[in-house]
Copies of this chain bind each other. A is one copy, B any other.
Amino acid sequence: MSVTIKDIAKILNVSYATVSKALSDRDDISEEMKAKVRKVAEELNYKPNYIARGLVKKETKTIGLIIPDITNPFYSEIAMAIEETVNKEGYSVFLCNSNWKNSNENDYINLLTSKKVDGIIIAPIGEESLNLESVDIPIVIVGTKKSYNNQNYVVIDDEKGGYIAVKHLIKQNCKKIMFVGGKQNVQSNKQRLEGYKRALIESNYEINEQYIRSGNFKQESGYLIMKKVFNDGIIPDGVFAGNDLLALGVMRSALDFGLKIPDDIKIVGFDDIPFASLPEISLTTILQPKYKMGEHAANMLLSKIKNPEINCENIILKPKLIKRKTG
């Protein structure tokens, strides 16, 4: 079908070892021979078969990226950073959407090991049942510092982020502060909730379980949660949302209910996705350096691939409050 090293060898009447070595510029091949080989390769439009190469070299120059949802700006920016970073070193990335389902995460891990990727970066949804024990390829976790089989991770300090957010609301004189989170079992979500609680306790606020709600990390979820809250007759004056998407939903719901932001209710999100900075939104939020996170994760993985023996330091990036108009 497609042209191989053997075709080139046949034309030049040399062994295919010669062709292989000529193409990879080894120094036991004469310059004339290299020139001849390159010329024929060019003429035949030869493209090396990396599958065959992968089989003998036992590396595919490919990594897997497992994320919950590429449609979420937080993950798409991380994905972008990872792809750009590893591509510079000649690696490709398999995009895998777990769709917030742990079973998909495990399925993808099996698939990726069968496809012989050189490493995996995963942003776990956070369930216990993520199984990394039997995986013998380098792995980097991004977005949660929950320990999965002692793998290295790149995160921001979620607890501190939650703490900063809620401290800010308290300083703005909010009295009834809600937490509208994503999936309960997601580690980063738990950590943000911990920060929420610590801030409240530190300021002698009461922890009211009525004020702690969870859904998933989508806009619609924030909208529905708050709709229900308002219908239940609860009207908070401050909301710390588990991410910006949720915060947007919360905003929409609050506006629908007739509340003024930030006069009646202040809202702080988490992530700082691109749209948060739009003047029409102007969402006060906790910045995650998403691109940096992806870059760090990618570089960490590459280093693990190249030097499996040396072990890396985990990376914990600092969250930062971005004050805008919603709180």
Contacts and interface: CB of A to CB of B under 8 A. Distances in A.
A243 to B, nearest CB: 14
Interface stretch (A17-25, A44-52, A138-146, A175-183): A44-52
A281 B281 contact: yes
B94 A49 contact: no
B55 A51 contact: yes
Nearest to A110: B47
Contacts of A281: 278, 280-281
A209 B248 CA distance: 39
Interface residues of A, number: 53
A142 B293 CA distance: 30
A169 to B, nearest CB: 20
Nearest to A136: B2
A65 interface: yes
Given A71-B80, A96-B83, A116 B219 contact: no
Interface string A302-325: 000000000000000000000000
Contacts of A136: 2
A111 interface: yes
Contacts of A113: 47
Contacts of A80: 69-71, 97
Copies in the complex: 2
A98 to B, nearest CB: 11
A217 to B, nearest CB: 13
Contacts of A116: 49-51
Given A251-B280, A278-B248, A51 B47 contact: no
A259 to B, nearest CB: 13
A111 B95 contact: no
Which of A70, A94, A113, A219 has the largest number of chain B CB atoms within 10 A?
A70
Contacts of A65: 95
Contact of A94 (B52, B93, B110, B256): B93
Contacts of A275: 248, 275
A189 interface: no
Interface string A192-221: 000000000000000000000000000100
Contacts of A13: none
A37 B97 CA distance: 32
Given A2-B136, A136-B2, A280-B280, A95 B114 contact: no
Nearest to A273: B275
Given A47-B110, A51-B55, A219 B92 contact: no
A110 B256 CA distance: 52
A138 to B, nearest CB: 14
A62 B112 CA distance: 11
Contacts of A94: 62, 92-95
A233 interface: no
- In order of increasing CB-CB distance, the 4 nearest A-B pairs are A95-B95, A280-B280, A76-B76, A50-B114
18 contacts: A47-B113, A47-B114, A51-B55, A70-B79, A79-B95, A83-B97, A87-B96, A87-B97, A92-B94, A92-B115, A93-B94, A93-B95, A219-B274, A248-B275, A252-B279, A255-B280, A275-B275, A281-B281
